[in-house]
Amino acid sequence: MQQFQGGVGRNIAENLSRLGISTKLVSAVGDDAFGYAAIDHCKALGIDTTDILISDHFPTASYTAIHNYNGEMLHAVSDMRLFDQLQFALSGSQLASILVSDAIVIDANLPSAAIVEIVANSRSKLIVADAVSSQKSTRLLPVIESLDLIKVNRTEACVLSNAERSDSELSQALLNQGVKEVLLTLGSKGAVLSGFDQQTVGVPVYEPTVVSTTGAGDALLSAVLAARLYGLDKQEQLQWGIIAAAHTLGAKAACADTISYNVIKNTVREHFIQ
């Protein structure tokens, strides 16, 4: 068994930092070796960790996945008591961080009350959400009209839209619920980035050697957001995301240390720009 740093929010923070985006991680860890190791790892990547809470009541959250020989996840089990039972209230410094940020990324590992409070204090900032899983995705429903971008797979989109639909209908259903843009992941078929103004389809440009699928969706969302913050259009945003996801599929860890601003930019130029 191998151990790596993980967690959806932490993965996104790492990828954004690797892509040159100034990033702060607001989260919680236990007062244990795993928690301090997670903080140290983030610090080494240049991520601001000053608003990570250290809890002496619950252990650092953990996630164990079992993959087959193709790198596809077969089973997974997690211990999220730290987030499920933690009474959440924004501290003064956390609130200040939100108010000065260009974008706020939330994931559905957080309790609904925490998600609602974060969004309520966002003051029209760019709000991005990761649905995480079909079970946890419903935690985003109270704020779905406030989301500028949501990343979902087919199962999560069906749960949020309360119906089984085609890919294009799923994205449209979420747009009709108030989301501004939908990033729909389609596994080996790539991803679709949809807004009311246009729909962009991104397909894999090469077949990576798949070591693990864990973290690929996090990398996709991170790179799409980074490209957006750099002022690139939807097509370029999705191209960045597809390349970042491919890098992560070839990594043992949940994040690929080969990801960087220059690597993604040059790879997109090589594969997409003729």
Considering the entire predicted model, what is its pTM? 0.91
- N-terminal to C-terminal alpha carbon distance within the chain: 43
Per-residue model confidence as pLDDT tens digits over 191-222: 999 998 878 887 777 677 888 888 999 999 99
Structure tokens given for 43: 């610090």
Number of structural domains found in the chain: 1
Q: Do strands 181-185 and 149-153 pair parallel, antiparallel, or not at all (unpaired)?
A: parallel
Strand extents, DSSP E, 25-85: 28-30, 53-55, 62-67, 73-79
Res 71 pLDDT > 60: no
Per-residue model confidence as pLDDT tens digits over 161-187: 998 888 889 999 999 999 999 999 998
Rounded-to-integer distance, Cα 174 and Cα 188, Å: 22
* Residue 27, domain CATH: 3.40.1190.20
Rounded-to-integer distance, Cα 27 and Cα 247, Å: 26
164 found inside a domain: yes
1 found inside a domain: no
One-letter amino acid identity for 24?
K
Res 235 pLDDT > 60: yes
Identify the domain containing residue 225 by its residue range. Answer: 8-272
Mean pLDDT, rounded, for 136-157 = 97
2 found inside a domain: no
Per-residue model confidence as pLDDT tens digits over 31-56: 999 999 999 999 999 999 999 989 88
3 found inside a domain: no
- For residue 200, the model assigns a pLDDT of 84
Residues in a beta bridge with 145: none
